[in-house]
Chain A
Amino acid sequence: MISMRNVGKRYVPDKPPALVDVNVEIEQGEFVFLVGHSGSGKSTFIKLMLREILPTTGSINVAGQDLIKMRNWKVPYLRRNIGCVFQDFKLLPNKTTYENVAFALEVIGRSKHVIRTQVPEVLRLVGLEDKIESYPDELSGGEQQRVSIARAFVNRPPLLLADEPTGNLDPATSLGIMSLLSRINKTGTTVLIATHDREMVDSMRKRVIALEGGRIIRDQSRGVYGYGD
């Protein structure tokens, strides 16, 4: 699903690089944590997979497509295969829960029929079927994050990226979000979560890739967060 070979990224020529010689293979259906301090290269990693940026060296393959050779106009079609969840939810405040999720289908040209069947279904999956008409400011943080997960998943992408999905949430709510992501993973979707959340990582016992100074310092299945132990 994701394959990085000797990937390096240097933003400014004379500064230390953001990523150095990263080699990662993530298979279809895996559940992976990407951990590391701020500045360790997590965000660069995510941006590379979305092809917001290109690496300085190395090759990247996501969902069967070579991102280096990919033409710019094809990038949107790559992103249809990658659901994205962020710390700040990125919901539109003037749209209801339903409309926020429907928007994601609308703008990639899905038919009204598809929207009418898929949106309620995914909202049931994330447990928000009774908040369909609520606006984001009427929802709690956890509920907003569920909306954003619903939006990321409504198109049934094979890959779901989450960048600090629980960064703004209390532990109990975070647990709910994690179990939701884990449920989505059980449907066969590859899930990659970049996070600081030590307890979450330790309790889930999933594969952990640890970054430090732009290098992968650890990659273990059923791992723990691991710093300062």
Chain B
Amino acid sequence: MGINAGYFIRESFVSFRRNWVMSLGAVITIYLSLLLVGASVGSSVVVNNIVESVEDKVSIRIFLKDGAATEDVDALQAALLADDRVKEVNYTTKEEALEEFKATMEDSPEIVDQLEVNPLPASLDVDLNDPQDVMDVVATIKANETFPNVADKPEEPEKSLKYGQQIVNQLFAFTRILRTIGVAFIAMLAAISLIFINNSIRLAIYARRKEIGIMRLVGASNWFIRTPFLMEGVLQSLIGAVLALGTLGVVTVYVMPVVREQLPFLPFSISSTATIQISLILVVSGMIIGAVGSAFALRRYLRV
């Protein structure tokens, strides 16, 4: 098998040039499908980052009614601190809550100025070790016997509590939908790419049927006849993959900063490990599509 690999590479490039229209079609479909793969993987990375950052901010805030007995508040705080799922519990007074509110409203101070009394309740802010525990801890708080005594609205426990789980759940639902749609699109495009590669290899086989006939006649081995076509399919999809990578690279470098500026509160970023993973996914899946597509064509159109 000591034949120069140069032969196969040369042959696949020559063939690529010879029916470049079909090859271009195959390249473009693969490009688009891989672009979509990359975009959906990339966006799910970004969304996951956002979800995680929201989760990090997940804390439970217990609103306290005005004039709640200090010993009851202390008791609740102590009970929560005893729970090992809880990292820390901070007490926010009415005045601190107002300060916080003023800080978020600094663009329109007149709203704050109109306030005659401080309408904001004091609160206990519960930080958790693991965001996953939010629902459990919320249940524990609701079950605590001092909770009704101090809660801002004891008859409606849900309104005396504020926690980020709702947002997180919505985000997760959103990413699920995004992912399902993405997978459906990718599957479709992958099928189309397969058909395109299949077709372009079929044409390549047809264009070279005379050569193939002579190769069989003089005893070229089966793999020798097949390899250039297989490589041509892989070459087409590799070009598609590289184009898709390039496009995604341009998007990350030029578009992401703009988005980040527009939405400064969301952490739009892709780590370099994620970037490498995405690149690997694109290149490998591209090569698989190329190899499978041309293998199909070889099985159907090249009897050796």
Binding site for B on A (CB under 8 A): 73, 76-81, 84, 90, 92, 103-104, 106-109, 111, 151-152, 155
- Total residues of chain B contacting the partner, CB 8 A: 18
Kindly report which residue of chain A lies nearest to residue B218, judged by CB atoms.
A104
Assuming the contacts A107-B224, A109-B1, asked whether A79 and B214 have C-beta atoms less than 8 A apart, the reply is: no
Asked if residues A79 and B222 are in contact (CB atoms below 8 Å), the reply is: no
Assuming the contacts A92-B210, A92-B211, A103-B214, asked whether A80 and B3 have C-beta atoms less than 8 A apart, the reply is: no
Asked if residues A84 and B220 are in contact (CB atoms below 8 Å), the reply is: no
B215 CB–A CB distance under 8 Å: yes
CB of B198 to closest CB in A, whole Å: 23
A223 to B213, CA, bound (A): 34
Asked if residues B213 and A80 are in contact (CB atoms below 8 Å), the reply is: no
A103 to B214, CA, bound (A): 9
B216 CB–A CB distance under 8 Å: yes
CB of B8 to closest CB in A, whole Å: 11
Contacts of B221 in A (CB 8 A): 73, 76-77, 108-109
Assuming the contacts A106-B7, A109-B2, A109-B3, asked whether A79 and B219 have C-beta atoms less than 8 A apart, the reply is: yes
B103 CB–A CB distance under 8 Å: no
B253 CB–A CB distance under 8 Å: no
Kindly report which residue of chain B lies nearest to residue A73, judged by CB atoms.
B222
Asked if residues A80 and B224 are in contact (CB atoms below 8 Å), the reply is: no
CB of A88 to closest CB in B, whole Å: 11
B217 CB–A CB distance under 8 Å: yes
Most chain A beta-carbon neighbours within 10 Å: one of B211, B220, B222: B220
Name 6 extra pairs, CB < 8 A, besides A107-B218, A107-B220, A109-B1.
A79-B219, A104-B214, A107-B215, A107-B225, A151-B218, A152-B218
